[in-house]
């Protein structure tokens, strides 16, 4: 009987462990399923091309049908631009630049789960002026009808950043940098970058927070942003709160294309709410003690 009880206890433990493992595996599989692409996908999302006038370059688009039904995909091209500092895109098909793109096939039939590669050529006329041109390659398909009976259309895009070679410039400028001087928690820093050149440039930037008391770096981050010619782009990033209250130095390093990179330094005072309350209490206590001492002195 004693051996039976021991075996039964071991079996119960093994059952619990087995059920736990199955539960975790189901969570992982559910998470994987939720992140799996659905419908129509297109890659790459972005391509940069440097093309001399009078020449052409070829590219490849990979199109995949992740749905459970066959689909017919239409391919087209439109010129894109940005309409504000947040870089919202605007598209137009009425442009001679669109004619630079030729697809090997303007229509592709895909079975469920099928992937096909479609080639395209970008031919730049000999008379084209040096500088940036920006084209969006669209893959579109009619999706299933919605519950209301309305036919929906799915569309995905791959962006071409083209530089027509010649006398081109990538002159970047820092228009503004906003960095808070007082924070009580996580905050935001912002900068506006301008491109006055003839083609786009990648601004690589970094930010670090230095502790002035201990002369060490407590946080650092980096990123990059693509700036189109003739535009200003607003870039926002997190300024995290340090671990302890105090005065800190924030150093920004900002790349500006062909122009020299700039380094900007700002001071920030980190005062969380609890530290502010403690300081306020300390001030009140000091005032009270000073006033009490003054009254005692007057009585004497």
Torsion of Cα atoms, 250 then 186 then 189 then 257, to 10°: 70
Tell me the CA distances in angstroms from 21 to 18, 26, 30, one per residue in order. Answer: 5, 9, 14
pLDDT for the residue 37? 74
pLDDT tens across 275-297, in order?
788 888 988 888 888 877 777 77
Cα 146 to chain centroid, rounded: 31
Q: What is the pTM of this model?
A: 0.78
pLDDT for the residue 214? 85
Q: In this structure, is residue 28 part of a structural domain? A: no
pLDDT tens across 167-185, in order?
999 999 999 999 999 999 9
Per-residue pLDDT, averaged over 198-207, amounts to 98
Report residue 36's pLDDT band, with 50, 70 and 90 as the boundaries: low
Instruction: Provide CB contacts within 8 A for 77, sequence distance 6+.
Output: 93, 98, 101, 135, 136, 137, 138
Same domain, 235 and 196: yes
pLDDT for the residue 27? 42
* Number of domains the chain contains: 2
Q: What are phi and psi of 293, to 5 degrees?
A: -65, -40
Same domain, 144 and 221: no
Q: In this structure, is residue 24 part of a structural domain? A: no
Domain boundary among 109, 139, 164: 164
Domain boundary among 164, 183, 212: 164
Torsion of Cα atoms, 289 then 294 then 298 then 300, to 10°: 50
pLDDT for the residue 23? 42
pLDDT for the residue 25? 45
**Closest by Cα among 189, 187, 175, 173 to 265:** 189
pLDDT for the residue 149? 56
pLDDT for the residue 33? 44
Same domain, 44 and 160: yes
Domain boundary among 148, 164, 180: 164
Give me the helices (H) in the chain, please. 2-35, 273-299
Cα 19 to chain centroid, rounded: 39
Q: In this structure, is residue 133 part of a structural domain? A: yes
Q: What is the mean pLDDT of the chain?
A: 87
pLDDT for the residue 29? 42
For the record, the structure tokens of 150 come out as 């309305």
pLDDT for the residue 73? 97
Same domain, 121 and 176: no
SS3 185: coil
Same domain, 181 and 221: yes
Q: Residue 56: is its pLDDT beyond 80?
A: yes
Higher pLDDT, 298 or 201: 201
Same domain, 87 and 133: yes
Q: Residue 274: is its pLDDT beyond 50?
A: yes
pLDDT for the residue 275? 74
pLDDT tens across 109-148, in order?
999 999 999 999 999 999 999 999 999 999 999 865 444 5
pLDDT for the residue 11? 41
Q: Residue 44: is its pLDDT beyond 70?
A: yes
pLDDT for the residue 144? 59
d(Cα 67, Cα 65) in Å, to the nearest integer?
Answer: 6
Same domain, 224 and 201: yes
Q: In this structure, is residue 287 part of a structural domain? A: no
Report residue 24's pLDDT band, with 50, 70 and 90 as the boundaries: very low
Q: In this structure, is residue 7 part of a structural domain? A: no
Q: In this structure, is residue 8 part of a structural domain? A: no
Asked if 252 and 191 count as a contact pair (C-beta separation under 8 A), the reply is yes
Q: What are phi and psi of 11, to 5 degrees?
A: -65, -40
CA angle, 54 as apex, 49 and 57 as ends, to 5°?
35
Q: In this structure, is residue 60 part of a structural domain? A: yes
Same domain, 199 and 233: yes
pLDDT for the residue 7? 40
Same domain, 97 and 185: no
Omega before residue 71 within 30° of 0, cis = no
d(Cα 85, Cα 231) in Å, to the nearest integer?
Answer: 8
Same domain, 145 and 189: no
Q: Residue 65: is its pLDDT beyond 90?
A: yes
pLDDT for the residue 124? 98
Q: Residue 208: is its pLDDT beyond 70?
A: yes
Q: In this structure, is residue 46 part of a structural domain? A: yes
Same domain, 159 and 176: no
Which CATH number do you get for residue 66? 2.60.40.10
Same domain, 198 and 113: no
Per-residue pLDDT, averaged over 213-241, amounts to 95
Domain that holds residue 211: 172-271
């Amino acid at each position: 009987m004693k051996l039976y009880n021991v075996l039964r206890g071991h079996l119960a433990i093994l059952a619990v462990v087995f059920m736990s493992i199955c539960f975790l595996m189901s969570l992982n599989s559910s998470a994987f399923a939720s992140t799996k692409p659905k419908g129509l996908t297109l890659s790459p999302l972005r391509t940069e091309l440097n093309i001399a006038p009078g020449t052409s370059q070829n590219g490849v688009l990979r199109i995949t049908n992740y749905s459970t039904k066959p689909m017919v995909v239409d391919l087209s091209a439109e010129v894109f631009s940005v309409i504000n500092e947040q870089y919202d895109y605007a598209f137009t098909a009425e442009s001679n630049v669109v004619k630079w793109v030729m697809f090997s096939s303007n229509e592709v039939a895909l079975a469920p789960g099928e992937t096909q590669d479609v080639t395209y050529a970008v031919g730049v006329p000999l008379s084209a002026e040096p500088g940036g041109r920006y084209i969006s390659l669209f893959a579109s398909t009619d999706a299933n009808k919605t519950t209301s009976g309305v036919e929906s259309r799915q569309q995905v895009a791959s962006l071409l950043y083209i530089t027509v070679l010649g006398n081109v410039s990538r002159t970047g400028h820092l228009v503004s940098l906003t960095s808070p001087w007082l924070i009580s928690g996580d905050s935001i820093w912002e900068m506006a970058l301008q491109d006055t050149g003839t083609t786009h440039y990648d601004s690589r930037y970094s930010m670090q927070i230095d502790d002035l008391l201990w002369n060490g770096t407590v946080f650092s981050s980096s990123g990059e942003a693509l700036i189109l010619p003739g535009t200003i782009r607003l870039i926002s990033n997190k300024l995290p709160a340090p671990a302890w209250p105090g005065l800190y130095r924030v150093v920004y390093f900002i790349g500006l294309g062909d122009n020299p990179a700039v380094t900007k330094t700002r001071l920030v005072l980190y005062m969380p709410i609890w530290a502010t309350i403690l300081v306020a209490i300390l001030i009140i206590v000091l005032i009270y003690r000073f006033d009490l001492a003054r009254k005692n002195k007057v009585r004497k």
